[in-house]
Amino acid sequence: MQAPIILASSSPFRKALLERLNLPFECHAPEIEESRQAGESAGAYVCRLAEQKARAISSQFPEAVVIGSDQCALLGDQILGKPSGPENALKQLKAAQGETVIFHTGLCVMQASSAFSEIDDILCEVKFRRLSDQQLNHYLQVEQPYQCAGSFKSEEYGAVLFDHQRGDDPTALIGLPLIRLVSMLENAGITVI
């Protein structure tokens, strides 16, 4: 019998992605502090948060294989977090016009009872289109991506914002890199196929 699987997230998008693997799982939202530490790189930041999310749930369910994930967007050397409102979202989207934004998705799979843990940072580059303020405001009204890194949801209407994307795993941009996740789950003893 396989260990239970828990997704340490309340994100409906991550839940929908994990459902694609046809594995039974539960979702539990971890309570962690998500502030970035001074001098922390984008990759280190998302990996630390993914691990903290997985560890918080793993401590409650030590037999479960727990999946933690977190994401941020990097524009030049500036980390774009969740904008929390329309004004900051518009600033983020205006700054990204014509630029390449690198999305870092931290992924951690952990099982406390076996001391199993794997962590990775999966990258996806997105080249943004140049759009007018009117177009950007229309996007924000339709999408309201105020809880998304970089004010951007590729799984919804956000595809209108970019010219192209580049990366090894298209699901990484949505926030749960399934290609890497499958190998991590198999390493944790979960039969995926």
Q: Name the nearest CA neighbour of 171 among 54, 18, 9.
A: 18
Query: Which segments of the chain are extended strands (E)?
Result: 5-7, 26-27, 65-75, 78-80, 100-111, 116-128, 162-167
- pLDDT for 35: 84
Q: Is pLDDT above 80 for 71?
A: yes
**What mean pLDDT, rounded, does the chain reach?**
93
pLDDT(97) > 80:
yes
Residue 84: pLDDT over 90 = no
Fold classification of 5-187 is Maf protein (3.90.950)
User: What's the whole-number mean pLDDT along residues 11-20?
Assistant: 94
Residues 106-110 have a mean pLDDT of: 98
Examine the pLDDT at 149 and tell me if it is beyond 90: no
Are the beta carbons of 185 and 192 closer than 8 angstroms? yes
Q: Are 10 and 27 in contact (CB under 8 A)?
A: yes
| Residues above pLDDT 90, as percent of the chain | 74
Taking residues 22-28, what's their average pLDDT?
Answer: 97
Residues annotated as catalytic (active site), given as ranges: 70
Residue 36 — very low, low, confident or very high, per pLDDT cuts 50/70/90?
confident
**What's the average model confidence in pLDDT over 146-175?**
86
Q: Which whole number is the average pLDDT over 159-173?
A: 90
pTM: 0.91
